[in-house]
Amino acid sequence: MKFSDLMLDMATGDASMHDAYIQESVGKINVSAAIFETARKISELPDGEFLVVQEAAEAGLPTDKEGATCVACEAVKQSVTAFYDLVAQTAKKMKAAAEKDMKALIAIGKKLGVSTDGDFKQSFVPALSKAILASDKKLALPDKRFLKGKYSEDIADCYGNSMANFLSAFGVTMSVGDYKSRKDVSTFKDVKKNIAAGAKQANFDKTVNKDRHYTDTVSASDIEALAEAIFDVMNVSKAVADATAGGAKKNALTMVNSLCDKEDCNGHFVTRALEGIVDGIKTATENLTAITENTTKAFTDSVYALSAKMTRGQN
């Protein structure tokens, strides 16, 4: 692909073929949460409470405590399944976006005579920043359109650590640099804790703000931090996409669902672990969706700003 074609590809935005699947998963999570909440209320109602029971009956849900508890457990399983799909599809989207950004960075490097031989971080990245800046200490852009280095690092760390914890919740193995999942899941509370930890780590700022997060004077450290972050996000995404493919989903959900069944889903109450995981998945979904949008936008904005500067020599 020509350098000009790469720029055009990036300028068209970050729409992805995976967006529809991501939205479908988010929709299933929201519906499951709503069903769970209604079923939970019924399972905890004093005898004779009419309004909520009538509401449930109109929605086609069981009106007895035992039936409602079983529905609550099934809603949790559906929510967990949808969240697994969300993680897998998000990784595919992030992988595709990062690969596109990586191609553009390498194209910029080649245009400036930077060799692609050797280690990417140790060899290519410092040579790239040196070639871009030439004899200047900083690269001046027309306005704030390049992600500051510390935020590139933060985004990569938030994404990598959150994905490692989400995979840990499903007992799925992943190891990329400092980002490693654990397989210490023996109770449903472990599933809940890993999802909650991942949600917390994915909590980068909800929206990338131009005035706060971007700069119009780009330093070598800004360029290097961006390139390394793109590299890390790409490799984490590849690892997650690979780890969640094939029969991994069936094995992971079989394990999680069996732990869910041990939470007395056939009894007459909804356990705290079930309540906690529904809330955790809702928060994790919000944060993962936000960091995905932030990452694809901020990385692409920054790489495109470099590409435009190198092509047109904007001042």
pLDDT in tens, 279-315: 999 999 999 999 999 999 999 999 999 988 877 654 4
Q: Can you give the residue range of the structural domain that contains 124?
A: 94-312
Phi, then psi, of 181 in degrees rounded to 5: -85, 160
Q: Residue 199: inside a domain, yes or no?
A: yes
Instruction: Quick: pLDDT tens for 69-110.
Output: 778 888 899 999 999 999 999 999 999 999 999 999 999 999
Contacts of 167 (CB under 8 A, 6+ apart): 87, 173, 174, 181, 240, 243, 244
Rounded CA separation 128/315 (Å): 20
Q: CA-CA distance, 285 to 80, in Å (whole number)?
A: 11
Phi/psi at 217 (5° precision): -125, 105
pTM: 0.87
Distance, in Å, from the CA atom of 174 to the CA atom of 182, rounded to the nearest integer, reads 8
The reply to whether 28 falls in a domain is: no
Q: How confident is the model at residue 210 (pLDDT cuts 50, 70, 90)?
A: confident
The candidate with the shortest Cα–Cα distance to 56, out of 136, 275, 45, is 45
Q: Is residue 217 part of a domain?
A: yes
Q: Does any domain span residue 291?
A: yes
Residue 13, pLDDT score? 47
Residue 46 binned pLDDT confidence (cut-offs 50, 70, 90): low
| pLDDT at residue 4 in the model | 47
Q: What pLDDT was estimated at residue 50?
A: 47
Q: Taken in order 32, 35, 38, 39, is the CA torsion positive or negative?
A: negative
Separation of alpha carbons 177 and 236, rounded Å: 9
Does residue 143 contact residue 308 with C-beta atoms inside 8 Å? Answer: no
Asked if pLDDT for residue 68 goes beyond 80, the answer is: no
Backbone angles phi, psi at 48, to 5 degrees: 95, -5
Classify residue 44: in a domain, yes or no: no
The pLDDT tens digits for 247-258 are 999 999 999 989
Token output for 314: 């904007």
Q: Is residue 4 part of a domain?
A: no
Domain-located, residue 161 = yes
Q: Please give the tally of structural domains in the chain.
A: 1
Has residue 102 been placed in a domain?
A: yes
pLDDT band at 263 (very low <50, low <70, confident <90, very high): confident
